[in-house]
């Protein structure tokens, strides 16, 4: 397999998903439909980037168990160059997911082997030869630090998706980040944690009420060249050092499952960076299309759209 343009360092989780008409109340049992399949933020993002046309590699850790055993064949089928480290004393990461009839979801994750991925497990040559390196928070954060240090030494673009929010996040890593991509909840948490809001406490509800200029001003306090806040059905907000734009998502007829939509955006955006020569606004449009298509089908990794599905939407926006 040739050199990978997008390298994702992150977590794999086996998704155990129950679809039900309404979430159970405490002590209540409800009927549902069960499916299982590949997931995990890092792995999902690798799926999305690869299907969106980027030569992609995934670096992660799995357990020596029945969830981890099939993964090499799975990544090979998707055309993803995989670098999986087996951690025998840890289970493969897993996630219990509830999805209601409106596509809303609740998730419990056990990071398992993901949290045992070590800094030395990150292949230096693979990262150094990439064009984009992507990390999240579903793995040992020391591995993120190592990946970004290698990337910065070699002029590789770094993308951090700070999800899920973690108390042990060391904000000093932001000095190595070119593009940070939180959702509304994660953005509000980071703003509050880092004391960026002069008026005192800051919440997601307060963020929603901000005007675009005020939101841009908050984004600039991160001292990261590009801040992209994903806004669910409202698309995303892109803030660079010189300008800002709110970009809408695509219209879809029916939302089936929003699980993995954020990962679809990150993967699609990363593929867009390669396709559009680093243009973050065009790449964000690409990410919005990828995420919008992903919510029309169930699952996380399996819901990621193929490039052939994305391209008609790109053409409609003059980006073919």
283 marked as part of a ligand binding site: no
Query: Which pair of structure tokens corresponds to residue 267?
Result: 């993967």
Task: Report whether 204 belongs to an annotated binding site.
Answer: no
> Is residue 231 part of an annotated ligand binding site?
yes
Instruction: For residue 166, say whether it is annotated as part of any ligand binding site.
Output: no
- Is residue 299 annotated as involved in ligand binding? yes
Is 87 marked within a binding site? no
Sign of torsion over alpha carbons 265, 268, 274, 278: negative
263 given a catalytic annotation: yes
Contacts 24+ apart (CB under 8 A), 32-36: 32/98, 35/298, 35/299
303 labeled binding residue: yes
Q: How far from 14 is each of 48, 142, 165, CA to CA, in Å? A: 17, 23, 20
Cβ-proximal residues to 151 (8 Å cutoff; 6+ apart), any chain: 127, 128, 130, 133, 157, 158, 176
Check whether 154 is labelled as a binding-site residue.
no
Paired tokens of 319: 């980006």
Q: Which residues pair with 18 in a beta bridge?
A: 34, 98
Q: Give the helix/strand (H/E) hosting 127.
A: helix 124-128
Report DSSP state, residue 99: E
The answer to whether 87 and 65 have CB atoms below 8 angstroms apart is: no
Distance from C-alpha of 316 to C-alpha of 297, rounded to nearest angstrom? 22
294 is in an annotated binding site: yes
| 320 labeled binding residue | no
Annotated binding residue at 14?
Answer: yes
Q: Is 270 one of the annotated binding-site residues?
A: no
Under 8 Å between Cβ of 151 and 144:
no
32 marked ligand binding residue: no
Edge-first strand order for the sheet with 179-180 is: 81-86, 56-62, 6-9, 132-135, 157-160, 179-180, 226-230, 236-239, 244-247
> Is 234 annotated to bind ligand?
yes
Ligand-binding annotation for 292, yes or no, is no
Question: Does 13 count as an annotated binding residue?
Answer: yes
Q: Which residues contact 211 (CB under 8 A, 6 or more apart)?
A: none
Catalytic residue chosen out of the listed positions 198, 263, 279, 320: 263
Q: Which residues are catalytic?
A: 263
Residues belonging to the binding site are 13-15, 40-44, 138, 183, 230-235, 257, 259, 262-263, 288, 294, 297, 299, 303
Binding residues for substrate: 13-15, 40-44, 138, 263
Binding residues for K(+): 257, 259, 294, 297, 299, 303
Which residue numbers belong to the known binding site for ATP?
A: 183, 230-235, 262-263, 288
């Amino acid at each position: 397999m040739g050199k990978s343009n997008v390298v994702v360092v992150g977590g794999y989780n086996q998704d155990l998903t129950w679809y039900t008409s309404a979430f159970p109340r405490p002590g209540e049992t409800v009927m549902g439909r069960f499916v299982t399949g590949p997931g995990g933020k890092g792995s999902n993002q690798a799926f999305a980037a690869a299907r969106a046309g980027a030569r992609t590699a995934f670096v992660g850790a799995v357990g020596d168990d029945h969830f981890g055993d099939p993964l090499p064949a799975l990544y090979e089928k998707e055309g993803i160059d995989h670098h999986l480290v087996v951690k025998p004393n840890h289970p493969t990461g897993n996630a219990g997911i509830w999805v209601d009839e409106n596509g809303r979801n609740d998730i419990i994750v056990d990071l398992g082997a993901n949290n045992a991925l070590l800094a030395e497990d990150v292949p230096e040559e693979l990262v150094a030869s990439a064009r984009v390196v992507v990390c999240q928070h579903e793995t040992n954060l020391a591995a993120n630090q190592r990946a970004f240090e290698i990337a910065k030494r070699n002029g590789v673009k770094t993308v951090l998706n700070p999800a899920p929010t973690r108390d042990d996040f060391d904000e000093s890593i932001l000095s190595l980040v070119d593009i940070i991509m939180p959702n509304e909840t994660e953005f509000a948490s980071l703003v509050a944690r880092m004391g960026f809001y002069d008026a005192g406490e800051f919440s997601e509800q307060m963020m929603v009420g901000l005007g675009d200029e005020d939101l841009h001003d908050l984004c600039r306090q991160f001292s990261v060249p590009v801040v992209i806040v994903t806004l669910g059905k409202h698309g995303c907000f892109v803030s660079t050092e010189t300008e800002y734009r709110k970009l809408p998502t695509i219209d879809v007829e029916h939302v089936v499952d929003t699980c993995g939509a954020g990962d679809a955006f990150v993967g699609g955006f990363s593929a867009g960076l390669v396709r559009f020569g680093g243009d973050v606004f065009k790449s964000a449009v690409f990410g919005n299309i990828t995420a919008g298509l992903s919510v029309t089908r169930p699952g996380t990794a399996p819901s990621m759209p193929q490039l052939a599905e994305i391209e008609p939407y790109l053409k409609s926006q003059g980006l073919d």
